[in-house]
Amino acid sequence: MSNNLAVSVIIPVYNAEKGIRKCLDSLLEQTFKNFEIILLNDGSTDNSLKVLQTYANHYPFVRVIDKENEGVAKTRNRGILLAKGDYIVFVDNDDYVNSDYLQVFYESISKEEMDIVLGGYRRVNQEYKIIFQQDLIDTDWSKYIVVAPWARIYRTSFLKENQIQFFDYPIGEDVVFSLNAYNKTDKIKIIDYNGYNWFFNESSISNTSQRGFNPKIDIVYFLSQLKEVAGDSIYLRYFIKRYYIWYLLFSGRSASSSEFMNQYRMIKEWIGQEQVDSNLSPLSNKVHGERFQIIIFILLFRSLESLRLMPLFSKIYCKGKKT
């Protein structure tokens, strides 16, 4: 532990002039004071940069990096390289944290010399009312429930020495990052704390059904990259099944039945080749804490597979035009 800067807070910013003030003000109200804020303006086309510079002019611990648009993965990776703190925290530009957020995470990771400390989060709407709360308990599965880079703290040297970076791809850049990190250390702690507030932006891509399958996404390539960095375990296999079910349901809703089945067959072929199928039930104690909605989706999907009803399901579920 050094005697210098304790925590670097990395915030990628893109067209966030409306939400960034709430985000930054929550950090200025922290009970913990030994930290810096690295604001990386990723080629915003609104007044985000002007807002960021206003904060930097008033607070010496706020740094602004203005750069061309590269996407969130490369932006976060640059933030890691620039971090001067012993520990790193990621915050998204629309989100905000409780006043004890940095204090709780810093004490948890520094006292027990962990590499990663994870917590839960709250999802809030535009009136900042809580619409969902994700609690975590200290189990092997809990770290797979939340794979976003926020609601946690990392040891900076751990990330840099292991060259853990965000995956520059249209989906799952944070998933690859998190599971790669999990695979590189056993020094992981889960705490019962929900100080991160994830803003539910109804207009954002992540909260809106995609227009079918993105032609820029090769799901088999993505799953291969994930398996390569994440190792192998019963939890990873279950996570992969969980993830591809989400992908098919989320992207497939606006696709055609034939597109859905093509994606499904590619995934199943890859799973067979790599021998990473999972028979773990979502009702098992090994995945305790799984959300009810996810349990239902997985059980339904498995039933459709066992009864060989996936083609019929795709014709009913998919709303896209035939290709």
Question: CA nearest 209: which of 253, 173, 172, 261?
Answer: 253
Cα Rg of the chain, angstroms = 20
Please compute the mean of the pLDDT values over residues 242-264 and round it to a whole number: 96
* CB-based contact 241:299 (threshold 8 Å): no
pLDDT at residue 204, rounded to an integer: 58
Please compute the mean of the pLDDT values over residues 169-175 and round it to a whole number: 95
pLDDT at residue 208, rounded to an integer: 46
Question: CA nearest 205: which of 72, 23, 77, 97?
Answer: 72
Q: How far apart are CA 76 and CA 115, in angstroms?
A: 18
Q: Pinpoint the residues of the chain covered by CATH 3.90.550.10.
A: 7-207
- What is the value of pTM for the model shown? 0.94
Please compute the mean of the pLDDT values over residues 294-316 and round it to a whole number: 97
CATH architecture of 7-207: Alpha-Beta Complex (3.90)
Q: How far apart are CA 81 and CA 234, in angstroms?
A: 33
Q: For residue 260, count CB atoms less than 10 angstroms from its CB and return exposed for 0-12, middle for 13-18, buried for 19 or more.
A: buried
Answer whether residue 130 shows pLDDT above 50. yes
Q: How far apart are CA 120 and CA 192, in angstroms?
A: 7
